[in-house]
Amino acid sequence: MPGLHLYDGRDMITPQHLVAVIDYGSQYTQLIVRRVRELGFLARLYTPEELDEVVEPGAIILSGGPRSTSEPDAPDIDFAKLISFHVPVLGVCYGMQLLNIKTGGTVRPSNKREYGPAALLPESDCKLFEGVSASSQVWMSHSDTVDHLADGCRIIARNSEGVPVALQWGESMFGIQFHPEVTHSHEGRTILRNFLSCAPHLAPFDIGDFRRELITEIRQKVGDRQVVCGVSGGVDSTVLAVLLHEAGVNARFIFVDNGLLRKNEAQEVQDNFRRMGVEIETVDASDRFLEALRGETAPEKKRRIIGTLFIDVFWDAVGDAEMLAQGTLYPDVIESASNAKSKASVIKTHHNRVERVLKLQEQGKVIEPLAFLFKDEVRALGASMGIPHDILWRHPFPGPGLAVRCPGEVTKDKLDIIRDSDAIFISTLRKWGWYDKCWQAYAGLIPVKTVGVKGDERSYEFATNLRAIISEDAMTADWVQLPYDLLREVSNRILNEVKGTNRVLYDVSTKPPASIEWE
């Protein structure tokens, strides 16, 4: 990941008895850390060279990796050091082959990578597979396979072709050829839990402890410099801002009002921060954005105009920053690295990686304290600092704001129709208890005028589009089967109260092929 500072908690104060995950470069390594934390224990990533820095671990996991152990410069492990800890060890994929070689076995390299599902057939009673059903699906992604085994090593599982896929040495050193951390390994969680149950004194993962460590780390990194942080009112930047505030460092929080926000949103964001005791600076650039968008109808051009202007306005306000704090999350990091297709993360990544940011990054002046966390963990962190539920569980809102819900040219009149309709829709969802059941919901505008009757007069106005979806990660989405009575109430209110629209439609399109936003 060139130019990317991935904060992974390594330089935080190291407590004892954590699960040390040694990173051999698999794209899933961070998931191992996450799974261990989900099981309630503290886990942290180390490079193989950093094994020296590990003090009294509770257990060690060697991750998978893209290399073959037979390559001359393949990543290694200080095996004497590893076993000197006398703690349970689990080697995953590359980690298993490495353990096999280190204990005196051999590995057969292959040019072909086995990738995909396989059936796990445990050989005998083995605590690693306790409670795992027969022929459970596991997920393979490897090239090397076990050739000879050293004395004292036993095979504890094979696949349906009889190939060994799990090994055990002594009481509590294990190797598995598959990835228990991915959800495609259906009982991977049980296998990890079984492994961790071999370790008697593991440090618990507690979000409060984690917060204190993050704060210590922020204080150390920032020192007496001033750190600048952009806020949007969204979950990530809000949690980051409150964390910096709690750390007591010298911080400036900048909020750009691009005029494309929801009804009263700028005011609400300011009020929310005030509620939490954080002072923010608001830059009202709404006129500049509307002016820049005037006459533009092409979706990608609209996005580019907004993105570029945002960067200009934000950095004008920042001036010469001594340090920058960004609310990058772990999925943003993996997705930008693996080039996944989520628009949100690509765009966000784009924002977080503009030239000025990269320059600051090279100078070590960018901190990304949340880059170790997944969204639900950020919410837990936020809750532990007393951030109210309604702020932590706000629906996602796109950076280009209402512009992507206003196909064609963006005008103040159209934005006002969207804002008023959206406010009615969202407040009704809340009133009916449906807001938290939707992953995202909004009203947008369909820029087609149709004929209607309002009062005694003929009207010729735009249509309003309601969209409510459920999703896990925004990559796919399904529309929500909202009660007809709820839709009727929203539609009645919009038609009666909002000027400029005479028709309300509910969008029943899944993603794919539709997207969540209209542009």
Active site residues: 93, 179, 181
Q: Which stretch binds ligand XMP (CB under 6 A): 51-59, 86-94, 268-276, 341-349?
A: 341-349
- Give the separation between CA 453 and CA 363, rounded to whole angstroms: 63
Q: Which stretch binds ligand XMP (CB under 6 A): 98-106, 396-404, 443-451, 501-509?
A: 396-404
Degrees, nearest 5: CA angle 83-87-89: 75
Q: Which stretch binds ligand XMP (CB under 6 A): 184-192, 287-295, 315-323, 344-352?
A: 344-352
- Give the separation between CA 55 and CA 15, rounded to whole angstroms: 8
- Least distance in Å: CB of 311 to ligand XMP? 13
State yes or no: residue 188 binds ligand XMP (CB under 6 A).
no
State yes or no: residue 511 binds ligand XMP (CB under 6 A).
yes
Q: Which stretch binds ligand XMP (CB under 6 A): 110-118, 365-373, 395-403, 456-464?
A: 395-403
What's CA 91's distance to the chain center, in Å?
26
- Least distance in Å: CB of 347 to ligand XMP? 4
- Give the separation between CA 436 and CA 458, rounded to whole angstroms: 38
Q: Which stretch binds ligand XMP (CB under 6 A): 44-52, 182-190, 340-348, 381-389?
A: 340-348
State yes or no: residue 348 binds ligand XMP (CB under 6 A).
yes
State yes or no: residue 422 binds ligand XMP (CB under 6 A).
no
- Least distance in Å: CB of 235 to ligand XMP? 12
- Least distance in Å: CB of 435 to ligand XMP? 15
Annotate 425-451 with DSSP letters as a single string.
HHHHHHHTT-TTT-SEEEEEEEEEEEE
Report the residue from 400, 422, 428, 491 that binds ligand XMP according to the rule CB under 6 A.
400
- Least distance in Å: CB of 23 to ligand XMP? 29
Number of residues that bind ligand XMP (CB under 6 A): 15
- Least distance in Å: CB of 366 to ligand XMP? 19
Q: What track of x and - describes contact with ligand XMP for positions 354 through 393 (by CB under 6 A)?
A: ----------------------------------------
Report the residue from 396, 408, 452, 500 that binds ligand XMP according to the rule CB under 6 A.
396
- List the beta strands (DSSP E) in 261-389: 281-284, 323-325, 366-367
- Least distance in Å: CB of 509 to ligand XMP? 10
- Least distance in Å: CB of 298 to ligand XMP? 15
- Least distance in Å: CB of 183 to ligand XMP? 21
Of residues 154 and 511, the one with the C-beta less far from ligand XMP:
511
Number of H-type helices and E-type strands within the chain: 16, 20
Cα distance between the two ends of the chain: 30
How many CA atoms does the CB half-sphere of 174 hold within 13 Å?
A: 27
Report the residue from 5, 67, 189, 343 that binds ligand XMP according to the rule CB under 6 A.
343
C-alpha distances in angstroms, 445 versus 22, 304, 421, 517? 51, 21, 9, 11
Q: In the structure encoding, which two tokens stand for residue 433, read together?
A: 């208890």
Q: Which stretch binds ligand XMP (CB under 6 A): 109-117, 284-292, 326-334, 399-407?
A: 399-407
Of residues 176 and 516, the one with the C-beta less far from ligand XMP:
516
Spell out the SS3 assignment of 118-159: EEEEECCCCHHHCCCCCCEEEEEEECCEECCCCCCEEEEEEC
Report the residue from 138, 203, 214, 516 that binds ligand XMP according to the rule CB under 6 A.
516
Nearest to 241 by CA among 415, 367, 128: 367
Q: What track of x and - describes contact with ligand XMP for positions 467 through 506 (by CB under 6 A)?
A: -------x--------------------------------
Q: Which stretch binds ligand XMP (CB under 6 A): 256-264, 290-298, 489-497, 508-516?
A: 508-516
State yes or no: residue 230 binds ligand XMP (CB under 6 A).
no
Nearest to 30 by CA among 55, 1, 52: 1
Phi, psi for 389 (deg, rounded to 5): -55, -45
Nearest to 163 by CA among 178, 176, 145, 179: 145
Q: In the structure encoding, which two tokens stand for residue 153, read together?
A: 């090593």
Q: Which residues 431-460 are close enough to bind ligand XMP by CB under 6 A?
A: 440
Report the residue from 120, 173, 344, 387 that binds ligand XMP according to the rule CB under 6 A.
344
Q: How many CB atoms lie within 10 A of CB 395?
A: 17
- Give the separation between CA 257 and CA 265, rounded to whole angstroms: 9
- Give the separation between CA 329 and CA 374, rounded to whole angstroms: 6
Q: Which residues 99-128 are close enough to bind ligand XMP by CB under 6 A?
A: none
Residue 474 Rama label (left phi>0; alpha psi -120 to 50; beta): left
Chain contacts with ligand XMP (rule: CB under 6 A): 343-344, 347-348, 396, 398-400, 404, 440, 474, 511, 515-517
